[in-house]
A and B are shown apart, each in its own frame.
Chain A
Amino acid sequence: MTSIALIGNPNTGKTTLFNSLTDKYAVVGNWTGVTVDKKVGTLKHSAIQVVDLPGAYSLNPLTKDEAVVAKYLLNDQPDLILNITNASQLKRNLLLTIEVLERGLPLILILNMIDDLRRSGQSYDLVLISQRLGCKVLTTNARGHQGIKELRQQIINYQEVPAPQLRLNYPPMLQQAIRQAAEALEADFNYSPAVARWLAIQFIDQNKAIREYAAVHQLTPLTSQVRYYDAQQFADQIYNTRLAFIEDLLHDAEQHAAQGDSSQLTGKIDKVVTNPILGLPIFAGIFYLMFKLSFEWVGTPLSDALDWFLSVPVSNTVDHWLLQLGAMAPLRSLIVNGLIAGVGGVLAFIPQIFTLFACISLLEDSGYMARAALVTDRLMQMIGLNGKSFIPLIIGFGCNVTGIMAARTIEQPKERLVTTLIMPFMSCSARLPIYGLVVAAFFPHHQALVVLSIYFLGIVVALLVAKLYQVLFQVKERSVFIIELPEYHLPRFDVIWHGTWDKGKGFIKKAGTIIFAGTVLIWLLSSFGPTGFVTDSTRSFAAALGRGLVPFFRPLGIVQWQAISALFTGILAKEVITSSMMVMFHTSSKAVLIAALGQFMNPVAAYSLLAFVLLYIPCFATLATIKEETGSFKWVLFAVVSGLTIAYCTSFLIFQIGSLIF
């Protein structure tokens, strides 16, 4: 099958271009905990496969994300590479281009965001760039859908794109070292001339991934010379030669037109949002607004309407049909009280969750996220992390699994581990349905504030635990914090919709799989008891299990067997807590459940329950991702035990102290 790979620096609009080119795509690996590393889609109206690789500054990987790109070029043979660059920052973008060109695969260089460049009053002689680099050059503005048609045409005619023949004039000694190593690799290991030369250059350039590869495959022509290469400081010479080549090229190709003022807008916004004093309050304000939108102004009214629709017309109609068809009582109970109540109860939260995701996508798309990382860096430094941990933690609000994956952009391994381990304390969207129920039942007039306080509790616990880990793991290595602040963009509806759908579709998919399964499980547990099918759920297995655990939960104020059984099934996926409640209370209406809950507990116990849900054992998908990313079951076990302990202690304190005060 024909495959095309997208390679480029971060913030070059790669994903936007990918979305314009493809019509359907799958994230490789998703909820099952398989590593998410590249997106694979199909070019619209064709069978050509398009692979979107993570953004990388260089093929020498500092982060796990960049390692994916290096390994892809090492092990795969795409038919065409699209190298996406930010036209306004060609100097640094071309450093990666040269590395990729040296691999010798057919390549089209794409100068994206060409409108930004034009606005700044600059332009380049594309013919000259194409001649010097020995590859095709195209310009696009992916956000404005300009140049996409022509690019598509080029992709379809990929067989006409020639393989590049770029050979930089490295200094003679270095040139000789490259030639000798490449010849030996060709002769002894059967590499093609282009791959052998590329391997030699990358090895000499101290590329970690290539050096590991050479050690594993015992590429002795390279490994035997490593000391010589490093002693001669060949890596520095490679960098200097490349940079000089690029500076010459850009100097000759640059065509000044009128004086522009592209970065004025960015400069003006940055003066306010990255202000040393206002930066943090603005950050907090933006998040408050996000929660107001999701839980009061937009999300909640829509959720309530959807809930009414599912619990009244849908539930009644289905029940009516089943009666007409003469369905048996257990089957009717399974469908109406089990599936519609359980899965529907979770689906009713889609508007709130999608509103929150839309806000996060808006922040990502506008360019604000990098600023948020910057203004929080000093705070994060105090707990041994850096501002870059902040972005994955925010993404963790959507889903812990994607948050942990996003931590791959953190350079320092111990900081990455700590970020991964504190991720479960970030309150993911799956926990929202149960918060929504509890706050509606106990804190009807302060819903947004109470939910926000739970989110903050999660953040505070995460920060404290991170500080503890910093001491325990003895993080002493100097951390790397270099963050690019991209130009601000006016948000575009289609980009935000794509981002929202990307994050939210997993939630809908889960409703059809794991939540469905969890609902059936809890229906079985609550509809069958030692005596067989029971209509009174107090005589069911779920009641027996819940009652058995009451002594353990009593100090936290949680004494209802329904809540305890629901917490138990919640380990499957946090949404299942809500569907379990719906099933066990035999209702498909949120309003009925809210009224029922209100009689069971007092507000202090309810808050203690919220804190417990926030902090206890992570869901299966998160545990699987922790295993995948840390490579060890030890950390999975650690996450389970630490989560449970911290949740128990926090809820204990909240309930005991709260009971004394209120």
Chain B
Amino acid sequence: MINHQYILQSFSCLSRPTASRLHNMGLCEGCPIKVIQRYPFHGPVIIENNHQRIGIRYQDFAALTEVDA
């Protein structure tokens, strides 16, 4: 859902480089994010956190928000 708030749950299912890049961008477990845009056919998802907009892949988004989604 667009404009829905999520809390990042777990980084353990992500590949190491993906997890460390998200960490570099100041995202960590427990961070709140808002979904700005989703693309069809499991395309990328745009999330917003701390005034920054980041595009990530659907699979990573799903892994990060598993409990909520």
Tell me the A residues contacting B by CB distance below 8 Å: 57-58, 60, 62, 88-89, 91-92, 95-96, 120, 239-240, 243, 262-263, 266, 270, 274-276, 279, 370, 373-375, 377-378, 381, 387, 411-412, 477-478, 480-485
Contacts and interface: CB of A to CB of B under 8 A. Distances in A.
A120 B24 contact: no
Given A276-B39, A378-B41, A378-B44, A239 B23 contact: yes
Given A239-B23, A482-B55, A270 B36 contact: yes
B44 A374 contact: yes
Interface of B is mostly: mixed
A243 B37 CA distance: 27
Given A89-B51, A485-B55, A480 B21 contact: yes
B54 A377 contact: no
B40 A485 contact: no
A276 B37 contact: yes
A484 B53 contact: yes
B28 interface: yes
Contact of B24 (A95, A373, A374): A95
B57 A88 contact: no
A89 B53 CA distance: 11
Contact of A378 (B15, B18, B36, B43): B43
A276 B40 contact: yes
Contacts of B43: 276, 377-378
A481 B45 CA distance: 11
Interface residues of B, number: 30
B20 A378 contact: no
Contact of B56 (A91, A477, A478, A482): A482
Contacts of B56: 481-483
Given A57-B24, A95-B26, A378-B43, A484 B54 contact: yes
B54 A62 contact: no
A374 B55 contact: yes
A237 to B, nearest CB: 13
B25 interface: yes
Q: Which of B21, B39, B44, B60 has the most CB of A within 10 A?
A: B44
B37 to A, nearest CB: 6
Interface centre among B17, B36, B38 (most CB of A within 10 A): B17
B20 A92 contact: no
Contact of A92 (B42, B44, B52): B52
B28 A274 contact: no
Given A91-B50, A387-B44, A484-B52, A377 B57 contact: yes
Contacts of A60: 20
Contacts of A270: 36-37, 46, 53
Contacts of B57: 377, 381, 481
Contact of B21 (A62, A240, A276, A381): A62
15 contacts: A58-B24, A92-B50, A96-B24, A239-B23, A240-B28, A377-B43, A377-B55, A477-B15, A478-B18, A480-B18, A481-B56, A481-B60, A482-B18, A482-B25, A482-B56
B22 interface: yes
Nearest to A271: B37
B39 to A, nearest CB: 5
B17 A411 contact: yes
Residue with the greatest number of chain B CB neighbours at <10 A, chosen from A96, A263, A482? A482
Interface string B1-37: 0000000000000010110111111101000000011
B27 to A, nearest CB: 8
Contacts of B23: 239
Given A270-B37, A276-B43, A377-B44, A243 B28 contact: yes
Nearest to A377: B44
Contacts of B28: 239-240, 243
A240 B57 CA distance: 25
A62 B25 contact: no
Contact of B46 (A243, A263, A374): A374
A485 B46 contact: yes
A329 B69 CA distance: 81
A55 to B, nearest CB: 12
A414 to B, nearest CB: 13
A276 B38 contact: yes
Contacts of B18: 478, 480, 482
- In the complex, which of the residues B20, B36, B50, B56 has the most CB atoms of chain A within 10 Å of its own CB atom? B20
A390 to B, nearest CB: 12
